[in-house]
Structure 1
């Protein structure tokens, strides 16, 4: 059954008013593992020295061969998040280890929903890829399809289908189970929302799987085809989740307390304490009406324009024998940055 990404209000979730002072302790169990990307070779450090919760360390000790996949899953997620939001006000800001996403993972916003979904999906993708590559003994290819197909239509299942079920199982075990017994009073709703969005990310990897086939026959006649299931590129998974983000459903807030909008002169755009860097200095597109446009990206503060001089080699020709002769070309470009 297809599910949808949900998100809560800023610092609000269902019936609860969550305070900033309690949130970091709660969220640490589910996201601190992303700091593994800053390590050189995590498998050489030993599980006890890695940025993991106690539950994750125990799992690591039982399955140390999965450490490269855990690191690759975190890298995939962070890279794809930055790629999907590169033209938006929030451009997937990541701080220093271990606060990879910082405040955004505790705020209960649409962005929080995307982060939980894409990180869970990244772990599924990397572990499944490692299984198919034969890097682990307890998983390999998915053989459940083999032997089936449609001989009358000239094709059958074979090859090495990606064993996505093992990847999904490990992602749940590593991320969701690590959060159990770690919540503080009054935070069950946010936990439920985060677990829901993590599951959306896992299902997205499965939903985006495709069928690849190879032809067999005399002189490439393709009389018979062998087909198998394979995961789509993680870029496609990220695009699918970004679409879900754009059409996400807001969790209803039943609290009586209202959040008042600050007057313009009282607003603080950057807030380094919570990891919000603002958009000052970000390059924008003056002619765009989308999220990368100067009006939206700069939050109505205006933008500066300066001219950038580019120098490059051009009109290159090969001269016999044996070197390349080029001209030196210059061009001027207007660059717009937010005030």
Structure 2
């Protein structure tokens, strides 16, 4: 299934979860990534979403780019798991129908991807409505950290400058686009869970901004540093969210229907960085149209691993086969000045293991 089609399907599910049955209108369309087409098809847009579609179509393009970034990261983080964030037809959308740990990750990484893409577009000058962020960071409540920054600035050796990433703008647009419609349905446990996981994704970007610096001075001396805020590498965001997936908390609705509480009395309430879910995940071992599982038959595995990706777990006890395959790849690459890389083509035999 084309990645562009999946992006639009993901977009419609994230914005209109109640309209899941009508997701597949875009299958086969060459216009699925066209901003005008997305907004024109989205007749049920309301509030901020409609306003963004009408007045900030360049933001919608970055939303789509962020969704693509999110799907690729999801596939990397889950490449060794039974559910590998597949974008196969009739699978992805059905998996997202349930409030499972997998769905929690998809929502979180998508919100993070949208935040990341919009913020990056700001820094690169693609969006006229935002500028670089040149403010001193306020991302920590640690007063000693802020005092340390002030001390460095006042000694004449350090100053804020450059083009800092305006993550606050990316955070705002991600919130407006992904949360706006759901805020009207807060009494629904699914809505509460999705809003929480959206926020966890944005938090994984916003709370982990890093500082980049450039030295100035004669002969490479660093008599003065110019520093600015940069977003974390998105792969690090993915790793952070994957850790939260592994430690995600199962929740239930409170009696008043306005909040979520842990299912067990001994479990601490989840923080804004944690992922939450309310339904047990399918085992994904066997093909099931009902839950969108493609099963693990034919998946590659590692017979020497006893953890995720190992044949025992991946193949669900069914066993695995061993075969030799021919692999063609670049090898013996050399860098030629300037600026070319030349490689030879090597053909090798490789042993692979596949689940039965």
TM-score, length-scaled by structure 1: 0.75
Please state how far the C-alpha of 1:325 moved relative to its aligned partner: 12
Aligned pairs for 1:303-318 (under 5 A) are 303-310=320-327
Q: Is the 8 A contact 2:32 2:38 kept in 1?
A: no
> Residues of 2 paired with 1:209 and 1:169: CA distance?
16
The residue aligned with 1:158 is 161
> Which of these two proteins has the greater Rg computed from alpha carbons?
1
Distance 1:38 1:120, change over 3 A: farther
Q: Is the 8 A contact 1:270 1:277 kept in 2?
A: yes
Q: Is the 8 A contact 1:145 1:158 kept in 2?
A: no
Aligned with residue 120 of structure 1, among 111, 114, 118: 111
> Residues of 1 paired with 2:88 and 2:320: CA distance?
25
Superposed CA deviations along residues 194-215 of structure 1, whole A, max 9, x for unmatched, are 1101100001001221100001
CA RMSD of aligned residues (A): 3.7
Aligned pairs for 1:9-158 (under 5 A) are 26-28=17-19, 39=31, 41-43=33-35, 45=37, 47-49=39-41, 53-55=44-46, 56-96=49-89, 101-145=92-136, 150-152=153-155, 154-158=157-161
Of 129-138 and 291-300, deviating more is 129-138
Distance 1:180 1:101, change over 3 A: farther
> Residues of 2 paired with 1:225 and 1:131: CA distance?
23
Distance 1:38 1:304, change over 3 A: farther
Aligned pairs for 1:233-312 (under 5 A) are 233-251=233-251, 252-253=262-263, 269-310=286-327
> Residues of 1 paired with 2:38 and 2:333: CA distance?
53
Structure 1 gaps of 5+ residues are: 1-23, 318-323
> Residues of 2 paired with 1:175 and 1:253: CA distance?
26
Superposed CA deviations along residues 285-332 of structure 1, whole A, max 9, x for unmatched, are 111111100000111111122222346787899xxxxxx998x97643
TM-score, length-scaled by structure 2: 0.72
Please state how far the C-alpha of 1:180 moved relative to its aligned partner: 3.8
Distance 1:32 1:142, change over 3 A: farther
Superposed CA deviations along residues 15-61 of structure 1, whole A, max 9, x for unmatched, are xxxxxxxxx974548x969x899846513537213x57412344311
Q: Is the 8 A contact 1:156 1:227 kept in 2?
A: yes
Structure 2 gaps of 5+ residues are: 1-14, 138-148, 252-261, 265-278, 335-341
Higher RCO (Cα < 8 Å, 6 or more apart)? 1
Say which SS state the counterpart of residue 87 (structure 1) adopts.
coil
Distance 1:333 1:133, change over 3 A: closer
Say which SS state the counterpart of residue 54 (structure 1) adopts.
coil
Q: Is the 8 A contact 2:52 2:59 kept in 1?
A: no
The residue aligned with 2:254 is none
Please state how far the C-alpha of 1:268 moved relative to its aligned partner: 7.7
> Residues of 2 paired with 1:234 and 1:278: CA distance?
29
Q: Is the 8 A contact 1:32 1:100 kept in 2?
A: no
> Residues of 2 paired with 1:144 and 1:128: CA distance?
15
> Residues of 2 paired with 1:53 and 1:42: CA distance?
18
Say which SS state the counterpart of residue 122 (structure 1) adopts.
helix
The residue aligned with 1:336 is 353
